[in-house]
Chain A
């Protein structure tokens, strides 16, 4: 167990690689109750969400979820978030644990009394059931027609007797669900899910596997690929950034950056010589620094050392041969297309 943002978190149960492969091949269950929840409601709720985020929240129907970014005036990421539209004027925003209070203050401080903003993190346990068998396992415990819940959609219903928000979302690159329920029901729900998944090989999975899974899929992790000084244009999140929607905080800065061109870009790296690139290691081109690694690991699925990092825009070309400085040695790597891993049959929206 480790402490993270005030939460006691399991890094691993059986071992990171075993848990990682269980999620890719069968299913894994994560307790991600540390994630924060901020709810925005009232007549001005949509406007407030629109003003503070990059994606177009107006396109989100009730029962739908959307990956989005809270931006500051400079276009930097306050946080990356998932917005669930519970009702037309009621949004549940799932935020990163370490940013919960920052985000809550950020949103509330800009509500101008037109929407109610509440930190409801303590009202939810969040469990993530992820992997190709997720639907089959979950279906044993609920009357909800799970096959009809499309990616980035959700329904309310009972799972093993506990009322849950059941969303087809996740952070692993596999099919799966995230369940939000009352903390009093959390432990029983966990146990029911583990029981229902036992014969399918469901494994409990910790923070370690969550990190390697998201990294293979090149999902950003706040504090690594994103922070207050990185913009979505630099981070490869232009698809999240709807510059043509109504005005939003950071839009002017992003328009300017788009016009002038970004100075650096997030890229994928694969080591071509033995070694593992880790966060903060320098990235070099013929000995000259061109950037820095933000996350890196040995990929359990691919059996290769992979990393994300920022390099100067001119060098951000797939195929480019570079080096990573690992404990004083230059180790060969090359830029590769992202994501590193894409599940078979998955569309681009996953």
Chain B
């Protein structure tokens, strides 16, 4: 599984690409695999303010809904408006065409507690181990 260098990562499996004060945000390869086929995406509108660690949108697979949490605080300046019509782009290209929003950050310090690619890879390994222990309880019939 690929976790590009140069991106920052959250424990909720979002990635952030920072260019000056602009943060591009999406969900990671691990997140899209865990979700499975993405069939619906709910995103904020341009001009909306998002707050670090609060949900700013949702991504839905056939089976379930997951909130997407803001890695940083700021104002939404651009939204990937191809996603509503082709949400599967998130499965196909999580770090590229599957980006979700661009945000003008209000506090660069928000980046400090995000993970590097290496740290995130380690974190994902831990998550997988926990999952393999079969402690997760979901799925119904």
Interface residues of A (CB under 8 A from B): 1-5, 8-9, 11-12, 15-18, 20, 34, 96-98, 207-208, 210-212, 221, 223-224, 274-276, 278, 297-298, 300, 305, 327
Q: Is the CB of A300 within 8 A of B42?
A: no
Binary contact track B108-141/A, C-beta < 8 Å → 1, others 0: 0000000000000000000000000010111111
Flag whether B39 is at the interface (Cβ < 8 A). yes
Flag whether B84 is at the interface (Cβ < 8 A). yes
Interface residues of B (CB under 8 A from A): 36-37, 39-40, 42, 58, 60-65, 84, 134, 136-141
Q: Does more than half of chain A's interface fall in helix, strand or loop, or is it mixed?
A: mixed
Q: Is the CB of A211 within 8 A of B84?
A: no
Residue in A1, A4, A12 whose CB lies within 8 Å of B141: A4
Q: Is the CB of B65 within 8 A of A16?
A: no
- Which residues of chain B are within 8 angstroms of A11 by Cβ–Cβ distance? 36, 63, 139
- Which residues of chain A are within 8 angstroms of B65 by Cβ–Cβ distance? 276, 278
The answer to whether residues A298 and B137 also contact, given A275-B40, A327-B42 and a CB cut-off of 8 A, is no
Q: Is the CB of B134 within 8 A of A3?
A: yes
CA distance A58 to B94 in the complex (A): 57
- Which residues of chain A are within 8 angstroms of B141 by Cβ–Cβ distance? 4-5, 9, 34, 96-98, 207, 210-211, 221
- Which residues of chain B are within 8 angstroms of A327 by Cβ–Cβ distance? 42, 58
- Which residues of chain A are within 8 angstroms of B36 by Cβ–Cβ distance? 11-12, 15-16, 208
Q: Which 4 A-B pairs have the closest CB atoms?
A: A2-B139, A298-B39, A16-B62, A17-B37
Contact sample, A vs B, 18 pairs, CB 8 Å cutoff: A2-B139, A5-B141, A9-B141, A11-B139, A12-B36, A16-B36, A16-B61, A17-B37, A18-B37, A97-B141, A211-B63, A211-B140, A211-B141, A275-B40, A275-B42, A278-B65, A327-B42, A327-B58
> In this complex, which of B36, B65, B84, B134 has the most chain A Cβ atoms within 10 angstroms of its Cβ?
B36
Chain B: which residue is nearest A212 at the CB level? B62
Residue in B42, B62, B134, B136 whose CB lies within 8 Å of A298: B62
Beyond A208-B36, A221-B140, 8 additional pairs, beta carbon < 8 A: A3-B136, A16-B37, A17-B39, A98-B141, A208-B63, A274-B40, A275-B40, A278-B65
Q: Is the CB of A208 within 8 A of B134?
A: no
CA distance A4 to B64 in the complex (A): 16
- Which residues of chain B are within 8 angstroms of A18 by Cβ–Cβ distance? 37
CA distance A224 to B62 in the complex (A): 17
CB distance from A35 to the nearest CB of B (A): 9
Q: Is the CB of A208 within 8 A of B136?
A: no
Q: Is the CB of A300 within 8 A of B62?
A: yes
CB distance from A301 to the nearest CB of B (A): 12
Q: Is the CB of B136 within 8 A of A16?
A: no
- Which residues of chain A are within 8 angstroms of B62 by Cβ–Cβ distance? 16-17, 20, 208, 212, 297-298, 300
CA distance A12 to B34 in the complex (A): 10
CA distance A2 to B53 in the complex (A): 27
CA distance A210 to B84 in the complex (A): 26
CA distance A207 to B138 in the complex (A): 11
CA distance A9 to B140 in the complex (A): 10
Chain A: which residue is nearest B60 at the CB level? A276
CA distance A224 to B141 in the complex (A): 9
